[in-house]
């Protein structure tokens, strides 16, 4: 049994889209998406520097575009799909809940709305290395911080105001070795993002929604979701609520997943899977050179 997963914000690097544009039809597809959302995805994916693609309004549509492009090249028929944070929009498109262009329009709205919300208060996020998850979560809540990403494998990302993040670096939870501030524009997946939820909900009214064609696993609680309307409702609400990737991986294990492929720009989620899902074969799509190995994995594991 094979799961296809899509990474979230932070996975992008300068020029990562470049090799994918050499594939047949890729340049035209990305150009059409760029026109549809009013953002030059080709420029940002090939020429822009790290600071430019860190911008939430740019990073999110760029990630979804790259993930969809690589998935199309793979031509996968997975048993399960899931995405981390903004990757949930990619997963919704991979499951045929919404179309590719609709996904790009929705993520463009998401990125702009979250950037606006982040500008209201100076906020940030930090990764905690080491420690017991229960002890860490309790300590974060004491400091007024949100465990915004509970990623499994001992990885938790805290989010809150800059003052709260600073307090965390001076008062770390027991067992935590290090607190690493992240280069993100705000406290994603917290109440600070509440204004973005309303904007996304308004945008979703225009969507043509279908029920998932394959099993879709949600970040909210790691559970499969069978109805398209619920998929969209959950990924909208997720903007202001924690990502429970740990629970997603527990579901993969319970469902008997034997292989995991992470679409471009792969690496982050395969790294988490290697720690949390021992025995599961993993593969990250970084460039088109990885496609043959990914197809071989699909043939061996999908539908098994």
What domains appear along the chain, each with residue ranges and CATH number?
Answer: 2-118+190-301 (3.40.366.10), 123-181 (3.30.70.250)
Query: Does residue 8 contact residue 87 with C-beta atoms inside 8 Å?
Result: yes
Which residues partner with 49 through β-bridges?
Answer: none
Q: Which of 48-52, 59-63, 92-96, 118-122 has the lowest mean pLDDT?
A: 118-122
Instruction: List, for residues 239-264, the tens digit of each pLDDT value.
Output: 999 999 999 999 999 999 999 999 99
Residue 189 annotated in active site: yes
Site of tokens 């890729």: 26
Q: What does the pLDDT read at residue 108?
A: 97
Q: What does the pLDDT read at residue 277?
A: 95
Where helices occur in 13-161 by DSSP H, the ranges are 26-37, 41-46, 50-54, 56-74, 87-94, 100-118, 133-142
Residue 153 — pLDDT band, cuts 50, 70, 90? Answer: confident
Instruction: List, for residues 69-105, the tens digit of each pLDDT value.
Output: 999 999 989 999 999 999 999 999 999 999 999 999 9
Residue 304 — pLDDT band, cuts 50, 70, 90? Answer: low
Strand order in the sheet with 155-161: 146-152, 155-161, 123-130, 176-181
Question: DSSP string covering 142-199, please?
Answer: HTT-EEEEEEETTEEEEEEEHHHHHHHHHSPPTTEEEEEE---SS-TTSGGGHHHHHH
Choosing from 34, 67, 70, 85, the catalytic residue is 85
Choosing from 139, 189, 192, 301, the catalytic residue is 189
Q: What does the pLDDT read at residue 274?
A: 94
Residue 183 has pLDDT above 90, yes or no: no
Q: Which of 183-192, 223-232, 283-292 has the lowest mean pLDDT?
A: 183-192
Mean pLDDT calculated for residue range 153-169: 92
Instruction: List, for residues 100-143, the tens digit of each pLDDT value.
Output: 999 999 999 999 999 999 999 999 999 998 889 889 999 999 99
Question: Tokens for 112?
Answer: 């702009």
Kindly report each contact of residues 275-280 with a partner whose C-beta sits within 8 Å and lies 24 or more positions away, as own/partner: 275/152, 275/153, 275/154, 276/152, 276/153, 276/246, 276/249, 277/249, 277/252, 277/253, 280/252, 280/253
Q: What does the pLDDT read at residue 196?
A: 95
Residue 64 has pLDDT above 80, yes or no: yes
Residue 85 annotated in active site: yes
Q: What does the pLDDT read at residue 256?
A: 96
- The fraction of the chain above a pLDDT of 70, given in percent, is 100
Site of tokens 């309307």: 229
Instruction: State the average pLDDT for the chain.
Output: 95
């Amino acid at each position: 049994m094979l799961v296809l997963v899509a990474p979230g914000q932070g996975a992008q690097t300068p020029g990562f889209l470049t090799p994918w544009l050499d594939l047949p039809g890729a340049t035209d597809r990305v150009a059409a998406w760029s026109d549809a959302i009013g953002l030059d995805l080709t420029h940002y994916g090939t020429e822009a520097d790290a600071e430019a693609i860190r911008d939430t309004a740019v990073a999110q549509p760029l990630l979804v575009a790259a993930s969809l492009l690589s998935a199309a090249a793979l031509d996968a028929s997975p048993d399960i799909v899931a995405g981390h944070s903004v990757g949930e929009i990619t997963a919704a498109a991979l499951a045929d809940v919404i179309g590719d262009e609709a996904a790009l329009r929705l993520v463009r709205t998401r990125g702009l709305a979250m950037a606006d919300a982040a500008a209201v208060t100076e906020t940030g996020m930090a990764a905690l290395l080491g420690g017991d998850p229960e002890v860490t979560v309790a300590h974060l809540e004491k400091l007024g911080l949100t465990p915004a990403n509970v990623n499994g494998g001992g990885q938790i990302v805290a989010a809150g105001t800059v003052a709260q993040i600073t307090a965390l670096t001076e008062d770390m939870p027991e067992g935590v070795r290090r607190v690493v501030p992240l280069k993100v524009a705000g406290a994603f997946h917290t109440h600070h993002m509440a204004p973005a939820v309303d904007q996304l909900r308004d945008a979703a009214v225009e969507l043509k929604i279908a029920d998932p064609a394959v099993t879709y696993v949600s970040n909210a609680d790691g559970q499969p979701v069978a109805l398209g309307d619920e998929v969209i409702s959950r990924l909208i609400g997720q903007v202001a609520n924690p990502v429970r990737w740990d629970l997603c991986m527990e579901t993969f294990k319970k469902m008997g997943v034997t292989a995991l492929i992470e679409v471009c720009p792969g690496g982050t989620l395969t790294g988490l899977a290697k720690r949390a899902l021992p025995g599961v074969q993993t593969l990250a799509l970084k460039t088109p050179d990885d496609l043959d190995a990914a197809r071989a994995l699909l043939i061996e594991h999908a539908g098994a």
